[in-house]
Structure 1
């Protein structure tokens, strides 16, 4: 049998490895006698192949903060600059003590932190615009959850937006994150969920940024969580040439890995197994409150980390998206 030496899965994002080689299984699978549900999931390591995924943009401001007040004053000045210019600003606070870093990781309005060792990179967005979108999402998403027959209860799930999640090289804060609780009170026949600190679903908001960067954020969550974060919702707020919001839902999918078997002079297609990939599941653009944007449907099984079909999918309706993005459309 003739097969390539490795299979590559593509990722998107600045300074992100373009691919991770996946080892091949020892033997091919008989496609005629094997259903997709019986095919093995190819195992591979999520250890990063790059030196670091702590991405520092070219237009970053840098400060070496020796005191907490010095750092907070600089953050405040950068926040005012972002509010005045209506553009995203970046601030790198470096060579800072652990004590200062811990205090700086408290939620900063309109800013998200990425931490690596003794430095913090802040992505500072116009506070009013960013706060309105995230705040309105926090109103509508629990309603969408409840409409899908999922209780609004900490016994079932918790929102963990303020938490810092540590990856291979750095840690990140999300604009919103949803973590299902292990062993929720469902039924006696429901298998317990494995406990985990990583969310199953996160929201990332960008302000007049390229989707390449936001997609890099989506890949960071999926890859650094070792596939525990399988749902990433992206909002990219654009104000030129007109106001609109691009929305994308990225989701893990299992793709069939195809190889070829050579018999005499002929090649035959054969399945080798399933490969997990992160792919764009849905996308829409919210231009106006009464526009033709579509709803976003979130897989409940991936959201709650449960395979039983006990609840419908969570729907962010057209009306909800209009409300969430109302300030920009």
Structure 2
């Protein structure tokens, strides 16, 4: 869809700045050039959308009252970002506004700027937002749903947008409560919810592609476990598609997760139904965000979620699928081990499908990391071989 001036959906990159050296413990992300934009507002007959664009030298954050204001990015020496965001409002910018009228109930464009292969995030209060995300401010529910459907359609088009994320800001008390209470409100979309910031990050996926990947992956796991005598019907484990899970300050939905039944019931040390194995699926432009998701599961489970699988799909220049296993283990970099003692959470394996071939197979998931107990003589690692991985990838890659 061609871009038009006065579009209602601005990217989060236009509203925020990635700091040159994030203070997050997550993997460091690439830098992004700064730019500045003017504030725009679009009024439609059905609703009024307020979209915000701020100079790139400012950081969008949240005041104690939940209202957005513009705050300078923290310096490298600053570690308490919540305190800075709550106390220093002296850098609020004055903006000029432009009003445009449109008859559509959906923003005429939800195009994000081209970030290339990089992805950045603003990480406040454990709520990580990629800067390529489109931003909607205070829309009614009908318009929000229409915008998400439009995004899913665009992702299935020959020229998909660079971001699969939409950030909802200032939803209002009624809409925010409805989103928190109704997990079936947005089918086919994954949510990350910050009650502190009163913001919601939506991850959309092309329906056929997403369902095919998740379906084949689940089948491979369940077949392997059944062969070991561990069946879902016998309550050996609990497995759910996109269950909403409450972390330390943010609620998050994976694409699928699995836990042994005793851990799921809170009897095995995990507590609060946190998974032992989580699956996160996205397009290649979202890879940095998926890495942050993997780290989120590890951190919010107090390091009890020890296995996260990331699946990324790439369409250009050619079709490609990358499957990564993130797990606890010693770093391959001896300098990192010396500087940061302890066991890091890192990528331990990558399997790639490209040009009709699978490279790096089989995919191996450690049994003890998932079930949190020693294996018996009939049990072993979950091994997904090349033929099964090829079937999964062929469901995504057009013939």
Is the TM value for this pair above 0.5? yes
Distance 1:221 1:286, change over 3 A: same
Residue 328 of structure 1 deviates from its aligned partner by 4.0
Residue 195 of structure 1 deviates from its aligned partner by 5.2
Give the 5 Å matches for 1:39-58.
51-58=124-131
Distance 1:153 1:215, change over 3 A: same
Q: Supply the distance in 2 between the matched residues of 1:100 and 1:65 (Cα, whole angstroms).
A: 14
Q: Supply the distance in 2 between the matched residues of 1:324 and 1:75 (Cα, whole angstroms).
A: 26
Does structure 1 residue 115 correspond to structure 2 residue 193? yes
Distance 1:14 1:167, change over 3 A: farther
Does structure 1 residue 229 correspond to structure 2 residue 301? no
1:63 corresponding residue in structure 2: 136
Distance 1:58 1:11, change over 3 A: closer
Gaps of 5+ in 2: 1-23, 31-75, 77-122
Greater strand percent: which structure?
1
1:325 corresponding residue in structure 2: 393
Distance 1:221 1:323, change over 3 A: same
Does structure 1 residue 244 correspond to structure 2 residue 312? no
Determine if contact 1:180/1:304 at 8 Å carries over to the other structure.
yes
1:315 corresponding residue in structure 2: 383
* SS of residue paired to 1:285: strand
* SS of residue paired to 1:276: coil
Determine if contact 1:179/1:201 at 8 Å carries over to the other structure.
yes
Q: Supply the distance in 1 between the matched residues of 2:262 and 2:330 (Cα, whole angstroms).
A: 24
Does structure 1 residue 276 correspond to structure 2 residue 349? no
CA RMSD for the aligned pairs?
A: 3.4
* SS of residue paired to 1:325: helix
Determine if contact 2:350/2:360 at 8 Å carries over to the other structure.
no
Residue 292 of structure 1 deviates from its aligned partner by 4.1
Q: 1:27-51: per-residue Cα shift (whole Å, max 9, x none)?
A: xxxxxxxxxxxxxxxxxxxxxxx74
2:4 corresponding residue in structure 1: none
TM-score (norm 2): 0.60
Distance 1:144 1:65, change over 3 A: farther
Determine if contact 1:133/1:325 at 8 Å carries over to the other structure.
yes
Q: Supply the distance in 1 between the matched residues of 2:186 and 2:370 (Cα, whole angstroms).
A: 27
Distance 1:278 1:217, change over 3 A: same
Of structures 1 and 2, the one with the larger relative CO (CA 8 A, separation 6+) is: 1
